[in-house]
Structure 1
Amino acid sequence: MAADLDVVLRARRAIVDGAEVAACVGVRGERIATITPYDDVPAATHTVDLGDDEVLLPGLVDTHVHVNEPGRTEWEGFATATRAAAAGGVTTIVDMPLNSVPPTTTVEHLDMKRGVAEGQVTVDVGFWGGAVPDNVEDLEPLHRAGVFGVKCFLLDSGVEEFGALSAEEFALAMREIARIDGLMLVHAEVGELLDETALDGPHYAGFLASRPRAAEDAAIALVVDQARATGGRAHIVHLSSSDAVPMLHAARADGVDVSVETCPHYLTFAAEEVADGATELKCCPPIREAENREALWGALDAGDIDFVVSDHSPCTVDLKRQGGGDFGAAWGGIASVQVGLSSVWTGARRRGHALTDVVRWMATAPADRVGLSHKGRIEVGADADLVRFVPDEQFTVDVAALHHRNPVSAYAGRRLDGVVRETWLRGAPILLGAGDAPRGRLLRRGVR
């Protein structure tokens, strides 16, 4: 009798439906076809037995990645970013509308980006659009063209081609987003509350003081007010200020549709530990104090923060070290798509969390928020995006072993728990050797 399945992955530990179980995961074509008990092994052309030290996870879904291609491909590109994602257990990314040139603010620009990405991507890739001054009329066409939502800034984005929205422009954009049932992502800082006079060259304390929590909190209040007034869906990217959590909790209790993410670097590092001149740790909003970090962990535990994504935001080494360690001059952004899983797991297990929590935060919840219900989970009918993960093995981050384009990382030299041994995309392992053809697809909202 011919085998019914192409492959069965047999694991003593697998994360299925929010629990860790022993299971056989059967794959037919590109999808999960069966899930059976460990000792009930269905017939398959090929059976893979995971090691006793390995846990089978769903592929992670990282909805906050800056690929930067076209236009700033020397910073990062689709080939390098998606290889780094695969090496880190990420099987789906959604690309931010900046810092590419042109930014993804029109359908024409979206088509350009898709054209460049086609044939380069090692994992599946979706796209965000951008909301900038004077492009309200472009939001519905972008939505129809399949972007997963649009992102805006409420202060200078750092690149001139992606302008910030004023409070009035943001209100107009939110009304349009509500009308078309889109999703508005917001970089939530208010520029008027920044204090550049606090900058103090290589001293991190000055940079931190220049971007206070109040700037973040005020912007989040504006987003909540507009989501409440319009009925539109909003999402706060890269939450850094734990002071905003009670406001977000109250808004959601009132039925306001606003979600929030944080990032591995805010859960890993603390301001008190940032050395003078260590601009590889510069990001906006900034890494804050240790007590703030622990409050973010508490908010994740309570469900007040929905998920964790990388905000992978790379640049060239020269830009990162611009000014010779001057936090005011260096480019802000942390490249972390390859180490996010290990970083979060390292912090999570030390605070009593399980791998089931990490999978919810980094796979299922981000997939659900953007409408990718067939990603980020091990269940029948889902894409067979899978990861062989060794939670108890440690490694030291070596920038030379990272696949993103430029050899700079905030995690360099850091000891982390958890090693990705293999990543599968839609039913087959991803091979990262030279000459292996990329198999990633370009995704559209609402289209499987």
Structure 2
Amino acid sequence: MNELKVLGEFYFSQLANKPIWDDKGRRIGRLLDMAMRWDSVSPRVTGIRYAKGISSLIPFEWVASWDKDGLRLNTTFNPQKTYPLHDDETFIGKWLLDKQIIDLEGSKLVRVNDISLSWVSHEDHQYLVLVAVDIGVRGLFRRLGVEFLLSRIANNFVGCQYIKPLENRTSALQLTQEKEQLRQLHPADIADIIETMDYKQRANFLEALDSQQAIDALTEMELEAQVEMIIQMDEGRASDILEEMPPDEAADILSELSLEKSEELLRLMESDDAEDVRELMQYEEDTAGSLMTTEYIGLPFWLTAEQAINELRRLAPEAETIYYLYVVDEQEILEGVLSLRELIIASPETPLKEIMHTKIVKISPYEDHEKVADIIHKYGLLAVPVVNDQDQILGIITVDDVLELFMSERPRGEIFSSLITRRHQLKGGHSE
């Protein structure tokens, strides 16, 4: 049984534009590009493009040797025996070089700066196979002919096993395990990747994500990018995503759209979701109402601790946070509040009215953002309820919502640091 032997290793940049001679010593052109076909093992070179304005390719089987001076064929060149690019082939240089690829480890978009190839022998046949793409700066310097300036810097490769065949010849490179591995990335990292893409790439990439990934990523984006992405989607998918997003996020996005566009999307949303969003859109931008979400846990006071836990299991997936539970009457008037910890450690038969706190820190929807931040900081809250004049709960404002307002205002120091701490507690589901 013949073993696979490596006869030589090359970079595309080292082969590009090299002259091509046939077995008579006649120069017939230059290596302008290489056609490649994907198989179940690895991509391999199938043909050589040798002249501008000519679509025919030299079959790779004609190549006898490679060296620094160029390519030599094992036969006399006959243009009648060249062949056109097949549908299952693509050009390495034209369609791969300088394209973007998702670096899942670094959670970012990177550019393919060069391509690593190996000339191998197996069972009396020789192949030129694509081994990896070089995404490092050294690959770029190699193409410029000054790689020696970075001789101490390691190459940065992505193996061909992680690259999927191009769906069409204008696609950017993506990874074979992209969808599965994207699920392991934090939504904020996916958002960062999308925000570095151009307009067309964003639309294509978001279309490839499942609905929950798209929702989570959109929630982490800046408002301007959120609005752009929603505008790019067809109205059906946009409305589906908006109704699954936190209502406050959806309200912010729709408020930036034209009245006609926002009304059309609201019309397509489920009526209950649309109504929640409409209510939030009525508040001025700098008010507490514009920060709140309607996704909170409200429980009737007559429930026992055990009944409340069962109800919590049902309601929790739709809530912004479950750390605080709000006790309300039939008219949604806020009567008390308790923490998840207090509920869990209570005896199962204990009514909520016996463990809830009736002295509640709350805020009007018309208070300004500064007041909201001060209250959350002063009382060390992870969330604060928003109520109307009749003490009916309208929603809650979490520390995350407030933190976003002050990320660029670090001189606020004490409040900023406190909010950072509270945010970590909220994400971890515990307090000090």
Same fold flag (TM > 0.5) = no
Q: TM-score range by the shorter chain?
A: under 0.3
Return the TM-score normalized by structure 1. Answer: 0.23
- Specify the structure having the higher radius of gyration (Cα): 2
Normalising by structure 2, we get a TM-score of 0.24
Structure in which a larger fraction of residues adopt helix: 2
